Chains A and B, each alone.
Chain A
Amino acid sequence: MFGQNVEIRTINLNSVRERNEVDVFLQKQDLILERDVEYTLAMYDEDRIVGTGSISGNVLKCIAIDPEYQGGGFSNKIISLLLNEQYYRGNTHLFIFTKPRNKKLFLDLGFYEITSVDNYVTLLENDPRGLRDFTENLKLQKHEGKVVSSIVMNCNPFTLGHRHLIETASKNSDVVHIFVVWEDRSVFPNEVRYKLIKAGVKHLDNVYVHRGKDYIISNSTFPSYFLKEKNAIVKIHTMLDVKIFGEFIAPALGINRRYVGEEKSDPVTNEYNLTMKELLKDYNIEVVEIPRIKNNEAAISASRVRELLRTDDFESLKQLVPQTTFEFLISDEAKTIIGNIKNDKK
């Protein structure tokens, strides 16, 4: 019988050879095995890979089945195994990025569509109440005002530059909602970044800080999926992120302005800002870019702070971060984080 020798195995991600095999298979389907995968399954017929799927954080990704083997229930099998692995890991709220033409497959497997960007990407989640609960919860934190602004930030860690951006927004708005990017791929863990922002804006009584869980899509979650359209990745990612923001988050809080830090030196962020400016017009949200503040001729940035931490230059550091962040950086709690920065070879 066709496909009776099919067998599913866990890939040893430390093995370059095994990774390569999966990658070669995925490339035939216009995908790649992304670097950040934490767990990968492959389906073999004899010694040939005919299907695969992976996990990264709360996302299922890099899923593909050889066209010859489609329709035999193999994808359901792979997804089932990935779901079980996720639940075993304690991740119950899951997401999938896929091409709109493939979304039907996942809609039949307990996933629900959040939104799509044209023919490029569809984002799905496995909880029909996920986004609804998130926005319902936001509505409870709504504050009336003529100008309601929002800033999405990572703050790795919170600097005087970030504070300047928030203060400017605060001064020119009735209400400011800050979303902290929740994904944990920065050296400073999300709760620490959140805590430092909160401490640093205590003096501003119209500023509210939110955990930007799940629906604020950082570029590290976004798959580099679209092999053929590599240059378009930033653009498509921005379109998806902005669409969710404009369609669901902004209306829940009545947001009509978004502040961003000017980023002329970083082409990716600059492209992101430009695209966002264009797209948010459709939702009647104005985008305001704030130039960076400088210290000794160089813009204050979190990456500069991390650089100084590497060399234990606390004197220079003091000029770049608020007192609250500085106190954290010299505390015992920060020791492991600083250790990680030093160990990182980049």
Chain B
Amino acid sequence: MEIKKVGVAGTVESSDINIVIEPSDKKGIEIELQSTVMKQFGRQIKNLIEETLKSEGVESAVVRATDKGAIDFVIKARALTALYRAAEINEYSWEA
């Protein structure tokens, strides 16, 4: 899946995460994360975002995420929504 423009989803309110996905001229997925639970879950959140994007076939992207203690489902949903917006895709394949 190709990132065509900047896609955003989420808020910076408590229990949510704001995810911004941008095109990148480098290969790979680069994630800049800021989180209220950075020490406890920073790595896990990054991994989850990366896996979510990879499972959709993203090879290159810059991600900026501001986490306010979101749980995994929320992180995944926000990542997918931001991605679909960034890739300008309107047909969603939501599945568990």
Are A126 and B64 in touch, CB under 8 angstroms? yes
- Complex Cα distance, B12 from A310, in Å, reads 48
Q: What would 16 A/B residue contacts be, using CB atoms closer than 8 Å?
A: A76-B11, A76-B13, A76-B68, A77-B11, A77-B13, A80-B11, A80-B12, A80-B13, A80-B18, A83-B12, A87-B6, A108-B34, A110-B12, A110-B64, A127-B64, A129-B62
Could you tell me if A109 and B32 are in contact, using CB atoms closer than 8 angstroms? no
Cβ-based interface call for B14 (8 A): yes
CB of B66 closer than 8 Å to a CB of A: yes
User: Which residues of chain B are within 8 angstroms of A129 by Cβ–Cβ distance?
Assistant: 32, 62
Q: In the assembled complex, which residues on chain B have CB atoms less than 8 Å from the CB atom of A77?
A: 11, 13
Residues of B within 8 A of A127 (CB): 32, 64
Contacts of A79 in B (CB 8 A): 12
Q: Is the CB of B8 within 8 A of A87?
A: yes
User: A110-B34, A110-B64, A127-B64 known; A92 and B20 CB under 8 Å?
Assistant: yes
Mask: chain B, 31-67; 1 = CB below 8 Å from A; 0 = not: 0101010000000000000000000000000101110
CA distance A36 to B85 in the complex (A): 30
B66: A residues at CB distance < 8 A: 109-110
| Shortest Cβ gap from B6 to chain A (Å) | 5
Cβ-based interface call for A73 (8 A): yes
Interface size class of A (residues with CB under 8 A): 10 to 19
Give the tally of cross-chain contacts (CB within 8 A): 44
Q: Mark B2-30, 1 if CB is under 8 A from A, else 0.
A: 00001010011110001010100000000
Task: Choose one: A80, A92, A108; the contact of B36 (CB below 8 Å).
Answer: A108
CB of A73 within 8 A of CB of B8, answer: no
Q: Which of A39-91 contact B (CB under 8 A)?
A: 73, 76-77, 79-80, 83-84, 87
Q: A108-B36, A126-B64, A128-B64 are in contact. Are A92 and B6 (CB under 8 A)?
A: yes
Residues of B within 8 A of A83 (CB): 8, 11-12, 18
- Distance of B55 from chain A, by nearest CB (Å): 24
Question: Which of chain A's residues have a CB closer than 8 A to the CB of B13?
Answer: 73, 76-77, 80
Known contacts A80-B18, A92-B6: A109-B12 contact under CB 8 Å: yes
What chain B residues lie within 8 Å of A108 (beta carbons)?
A: 34, 36
A76 contacts which of B8, B14, B20, B65 (Cβ < 8 Å)? Answer: B14
A80 to B62, CA, bound (A): 21
Q: Are B22 and A92 in contact (CB under 8 A)?
A: yes
Q: How far is the CA of A132 from the CA of B28 in the complex (A)?
A: 19
User: Of residues B18, B22, B32, which shows the largest number of chain A Cβ atoms within 10 Å of its Cβ?
Assistant: B18
Smallest CB gap from A109: residue in B: B12
Q: Which 10 A-B pairs have the closest CB atoms?
A: A110-B66, A80-B11, A87-B8, A92-B6, A109-B12, A76-B13, A128-B32, A80-B12, A76-B12, A73-B14
Q: How far is the CA of A338 from the CA of B6 in the complex (A)?
A: 35
Interface string of A123-134 (1 = CB under 8 A from B): 000111100000
Q: A84 and B11: CB pair below 8 A?
A: yes
B46 CB to closest chain A CB (Å) equals 14
Residues of A within 8 A of B62 (CB): 129
Is B8 in contact with A84, judged by CB distance below 8 angstroms? Answer: yes
* CB-defined contacts of A73 to chain B, threshold 8 Å: 13-14
How many Å lie between the Cα of A77 and that of B15 in the bound state? 12
A92–B8 Cα distance when bound, in Å, is: 9
Task: Please indicate the chain A residues that have their CB under 8 angstroms from the CB of B36 in the complex.
Answer: 108
In the assembly, what is the distance between CA of A100 and CA of B6, in Å?
A: 30
Q: How far is the CA of A76 from the CA of B65 in the complex (A)?
A: 15
Q: Mark A118-161, 1 if CB is under 8 A from B, else 0.
A: 00000000111100000000000000000000000000000000
A87: chain B residues at CB < 8 Å are: 6, 8, 20
A80: chain B residues within 8 A (beta carbon)? 11-13, 18
Closest B-chain residue to A107, C-beta based? B34
Report the minimum CB–CB distance from A80 to chain B (whole Å): 4
Once the chains are docked, how many angstroms separate the CA of A80 from the CA of B20? 13
Closest Cβ neighbor of A87 among chain B residues? B8
Cα–Cα, bound, A225→B28 (Å): 42
Q: A77-B13, A80-B18, A129-B62 are in contact. List 17 more A-B contacts (CB 8 A).
A: A73-B13, A76-B11, A76-B12, A80-B11, A83-B12, A87-B6, A87-B20, A92-B6, A92-B8, A92-B20, A92-B22, A109-B12, A110-B12, A110-B64, A110-B65, A126-B64, A127-B32
